[in-house]
Amino acid sequence: MNSFTLIVIIIIYLAVLFYIAFLAEKKRQSKWVNNPYVYTLSLAVFCSAWTYYGSVGIAANSGINFLPIYLGPVIAAPLWIIVLRKIIRISKQHKISSIADFISLRYGNNRFLGALVTIICLFGTLPYISLQLKAVSETFEIMSDDTSYISTSIIDDSTFYVALLLAVFAAFFGTQNTDASEKHKGIVATVAFESVLKLVFFTIIGGYITFYLFDGTTDIYDKISNTENFKELTTLSGIEDGFNWFFMIALSFMSIFLLPRQFQVMVLENNREKHLKKAIWLFPLYLLLFNIFVIFIAWAGKLTFGSTQNAEYYSLLLPLEHGNSLLATLVFLGGFSAVISMVVVSTLALSTMVSNNLIIPYGFLDKFIKNQPERNSKYIKSIRRISIFTIIISAYFFYVSFSKELSLYSIGLISFVIIAQLAPSFFIGLFWNRGSSKAAIIGMIIGFLIAIYTLVLPFTLQAYTGTDYFTQHGLFGIAALKPNALLGIDFLSPPAHAFFWSISFNLMSYLVFSLVSKGNYRERNYAEMFVDSKSFTSLQENAFVWKGEAYVSDVKNVLVRFLGEERATRALKIFFTKHKLPLDTQLGDARLINFSEKLLTGSIGSASAKILIASVVKEEQISLVEVLKILEESKENIVNNKVLLEKSNELSQLSSKLKDANKELISKDKQKDEFLDTVAHELKTPITGIRAATELLMDEDDDMPQEMKAQFLKNILQDSERLGRLIHNILDFEKLETGRLNLDLEYLDIQKTIAKAIGSISQIAAKKGVKIVVNNVHSFKINYDEDRILQVLTNLLSNAIKFCQPQTGKIYIDYKLGNALVEISVTDNGKGIPEEDHAFVFDKFYQSKHQNTIKPQGSGLGLAITKQIVEKHQGKIWAKKGIKNGATFVFTIPFK
Amino acid sequence: MKNRILIVDDEPNIVMSLEYAFKKQDFEVFIARDGSEALEILKHQVPNIVLLDIMMPNVDGYQTLQEIKKNKSLKDTKVVFLTAKNKASDVEKGLKLGADKYLTKPFSVKKLVSEILELLA
């Protein structure tokens, strides 16, 4: 293919990526951008050109040794739910913007530690980026026809321009916000898109090679198993290989957490914790799919080319060999995708680190304090953009100077070993609060130096001097110092060897120095926050130990420089409201310091934030003893608060009980009022009648006819009787209700009592033409107060008569003997009781309660008294429900 | 023309006394035992005055007054509440609804008659 055509394809492809990134940024809130699949696919930035091309190379040359690099992440995935969730939470809380920020914050915002981590990441990532450039460059050469052409200067090296294009892309979408802890949706979306492409294209070429060029997996296996060296490629050779595998798995296990680009996509770009649940199985599945065809492509390449070609590019060379340039172009684009995502995310992560942990804290802070907010934000963005360009260009020069001689695979491993130096302080620091910043720094430096000595120095010296004397004989010719066989350990592969020694010394230094030297109060503070994950949210708010003076206005001034007036004011307002402080608070406390540092962390990194805030407050040194005391106190406070909370809960429960009681009292009062009201009304009515009649009779001027006089006198008598009954009822009721009525129990026949009751009321019934029928004529003797039960029966009967139609009315009385009670019922065929009134018929003056202004028939006390009497006999009374015509009242009298 | 009065109360003894007293003053007396009976009578008669009890079965005094107020032909009819309800809130409610007078039970017949005559004067 013409190299010009290829460049056009690349540019079109890049345009598509720009468009996707642009769309994703525009629709930041859309579901297409924020879902667990995009998140998982963005994690697949792990599969760079190293995976895409390098795996095949290693599979062809040393068999299944390409696998451990993927086994580490697979083993790590289930742990994400615990470890990664904790990391994500802490990072979100503190607006962490890079792994350097994360580690430096854990060790009390140590500025030097942040810088050190950044340097290690730079050293670890630059070769890795150059590996990607190398892959682009070499595949470009393979794809284009003019293979003989070798670039002589930067100006005509296409790789340089590709690198520049990548830098533009990363700079544009990576620095939209000053706050680096903001999400980069555009970049994440393109990375996810590219992850799909690289997997699909790699699988297509794998299928094409295995099933089209060859006759399936068995065919390839049969053919390759006949070649020499086959056994070496497919088996582990003894304990040494076992160790190599172990260290490679450990190495990749750490890398999946520590590689700056993995930290970027896994932690910083995560917008929902629950996406992890999907990622823990989907990501290993992705890796599995990616590795299915690796070994077959490698064998197919070996069968086709022998050892005449670079095995890393078999996937590209095989379709080209068979004249299928379309497939080759797809493979090329897949590889290119792997490259772009890796380069863009890595440089984004690195540029944040470089600006927040190197450039700003070591050179620009003074300037920032004097500048206006707009200029500051411009500065920060410029620093990041320049960092991105510098990193990519440096990687390009690294590629030009070194990596031409090295395989992709070995460059990748160098990166892994260097990055692994962060592991002890990172992992142990999450779970062990003794780990101190000094120990972290010493461990990292020692590990880093050992890694340089055992891994980087040999090939650098070889590249410059052209001999491998150093590797063969060691420093000053001392055999024990041979870089690939320190102290005689010569059975490990160089990367495993370097990893083993560097990480061992690193770990040991970290542990020893942590135990020997205690961290200062600030470190202890942050250590508590990171380690005590259960209560870390509250700890972050409360346990920050700080002593000194801080004026809110000073702190605000600093915030304004970076956030602008409006955002700073708003943030402080939120802070004051949250902590229930007056808005014009003048002196800040630890919480304000903590809050302000957090606010600035996103923009300038945690170390710089600490320095900036410290510059405007007067901080006093506190001894460790004091810190521990304060921490104890805060724990005590928490306990006290708990007790207080319980008390306050109790109080509020009590108060709600009081409220209920009060309500009940009020309603009782109201009832009492109503009762008195009705009583008054009932008393006034006959009195009115009596008074009016008496007045008329007394008028001496009046010559009232004799029969009229007689009528009025009769009325007076009636009303007096009514008044007497009413007073009797009220007194009765009052006695019953207050329990002052004693029953006069006798052993009597209920049948006879019923007959008495009917007898006393028969006149009224006969007058209305209502029939009363007794169904049961058996006699039962039980204990009861006859007068009272008579009262009950006559009340029920007279009610029944009242509600019956004249002439057609019929009342049935029945009684049944149960095990321990007699059940007596009075049924009429009158107008019945409305369904909704059933619950109230026994209330005193119940009519007045529900039909307030409608005149009660009778005193309204009859049934209430009846109920009291029955209950006084330990019985029950109720009106039967669901009766179609008329009403049935039932009461019981128990006996022993 | 004779003064006409409608007495609305469900207590026969009270009604009897009132009827006697007003007839003696030469009133034409109509009697209703509750609000619905009163409204029925008011369809055909236009009394000068209505004596209205409040607590009555079926249609109570308040409702009856509201119906009377709706009827244009009764716009000159005076309405007097005569009731046992004597709380300030009851009185207020009655007058608010448009009663011309609010008298409470028990009452003096003589005084009642003179107040009614005063109202009609």
Residue of B nearest to A856 (CA): B57
**What share of chain A has pLDDT > 70, as a percent?**
84
Å between B10 CA and nearest CA of chain A: 9
Give the span between the Cα atoms of A507 and A819, in whole angstroms.
86
| pLDDT exceeds cutoff 60 at A542 | no
Mean pLDDT of chain A: 80
Name the band, by pLDDT with cuts 50, 70 and 90, for residue A35. Answer: confident
Residue of B nearest to A853 (CA): B55
Q: What is the mean pLDDT of residues A68-96?
A: 83
Name the band, by pLDDT with cuts 50, 70 and 90, for residue A225. Answer: confident
- Overall pTM > 0.80: no
Lowest mean pLDDT among A71-85, A179-193, A519-533: A519-533
Q: A390-399 pLDDT, tens per residue?
A: 888 888 888 8
Shortest CB distance from B105 goes to which of A688, A695, A696?
A688
Lowest mean pLDDT among A79-83, A406-410, A733-737: A406-410
Measured between CB atoms, does A710 come within 8 Å of chain B?
no
Give the span between the Cα atoms of A448 and A117, in whole angstroms.
10
Task: Identify whether the C-beta of residue A216 lies closer than 8 Å to the C-beta of residue A326.
Answer: no
Q: A859-876 pLDDT, tens per residue?
A: 667 888 899 899 989 999
**What is the end-to-end Cα distance of chain B in Å, rounded?**
14
A803, amino acid identity: F
| pLDDT exceeds cutoff 70 at A702 | yes
Name the band, by pLDDT with cuts 50, 70 and 90, for residue A618. Answer: low
Q: Which of A722, A853, A857, A859 to mutate to test the interface with B (most CBs of B within 10 A)?
A: A853
Q: Which has the closest alpha carbon to A440: A86, A105, A84? A: A105
Give the span between the Cα atoms of B79 and B89, in whole angstroms.
18
Give the span between the Cα atoms of A278 and A283, in whole angstroms.
8
Q: Which has the closest alpha carbon to A526: A2, A113, A69? A: A113
Lowest mean pLDDT among A52-61, A299-308, A577-586: A577-586
| pLDDT exceeds cutoff 50 at A851 | no
Residues 6+ apart with CB under 8 A from B43: none
Residue of A nearest to B54 (CA): A853
Backbone φ and ψ for B81, nearest 5 degrees, come out as -80, 135
Q: Which has the closest alpha carbon to A853: B37, B84, B16? A: B84
Other CB atoms within 10 Å distance of the CB of residue A173: 23
Contact B87 A681 (CB under 8 A): no
Q: A122-172 pLDDT, tens per residue?
A: 988 888 888 888 888 888 888 876 544 455 555 567 778 778 887 887 777
| pLDDT exceeds cutoff 70 at A230 | no
Q: Which residues of A343-373 are buried (b: 16+ CB within 10 A; e: fewer)?
A: bbbbbbbbbbbbbbbbbbbeebeeebeebeb
pLDDT at residue A370, as a whole number:
66
- B4-8 and B28-32 beta bridge pairing: parallel
Contact A688 B84 (CB under 8 A): yes
pLDDT at residue A889, as a whole number:
92
Residue of A nearest to B35 (CA): A854
Residue of A nearest to B58 (CA): A854
Name the band, by pLDDT with cuts 50, 70 and 90, for residue B48. Answer: very high
Contact A855 B61 (CB under 8 A): no
Q: Can you tell me whether residue A433 is helix, strand or coil?
A: coil
Give the span between the Cα atoms of A826 and A814, in whole angstroms.
7
Residue showing tokens 């970027």: A264
pLDDT at residue A32, as a whole number:
74
Contact A685 B58 (CB under 8 A): no
pLDDT at residue A168, as a whole number:
81
Q: Which residues of B14-38 are buried (b: 16+ CB within 10 A; e: fewer)?
A: bbbbbbbbbeeeebebbbbbbbbbb
Measured between beta carbons, the chain A residues lying within 8 angstroms of B13 are 686, 689, 692-693, 715, 718-719
Lowest mean pLDDT among A20-34, A410-424, A490-504, A684-698: A20-34
Task: Identify whether the C-beta of residue A500 lies closer than 8 Å to the C-beta of residue A423.
Answer: no
CA A58 vs. chain centroid, Å, equals 42
- B4-8 and A888-894 beta bridge pairing: unpaired
Dihedral sign from CA coordinates of A614, A615, A617, A618: positive
**What is the end-to-end Cα distance of chain A in Å, rounded?**
112
β-partners of residue A491 are: none
ipTM confidence? 0.92
Give the span between the Cα atoms of B89 and A418, in whole angstroms.
90
Q: Could you write out the DSSP letters of every residue in A699-739?
A: -TT----HHHHHHHHHHHHHHHHHHHHHHHHHHHHHHHHTT
Task: Identify whether the C-beta of residue A570 lies closer than 8 Å to the C-beta of residue A62.
Answer: no
- How many A×B Cβ pairs under 8 Å? 77
- A888-894 and A877-879 beta bridge pairing: antiparallel
Measured between beta carbons, the chain B residues lying within 8 angstroms of A704 are 20
Measured between beta carbons, the chain B residues lying within 8 angstroms of A695 are 17, 108-110
pLDDT at residue B20, as a whole number:
92
Task: Identify whether the C-beta of residue A556 lies closer than 8 Å to the C-beta of residue A606.
Answer: no
Q: What is the mean pLDDT of residues A71-87?
A: 85
Q: A804-850 pLDDT, tens per residue?
A: 888 888 999 998 888 888 999 999 988 888 777 777 778 766 553 33
Tokens of A524: 């202890």
Angle at A284 between CA A280 and CA A288, to 5 degrees: 165
**What share of chain A has pLDDT > 90, as a percent?**
9
Residues 6+ apart with CB under 8 A from A438: A513, A517, A519
pLDDT at residue A216, as a whole number:
81
CA A587 vs. chain centroid, Å, equals 34
Q: A358-380 pLDDT, tens per residue?
A: 888 787 766 666 666 667 777 77
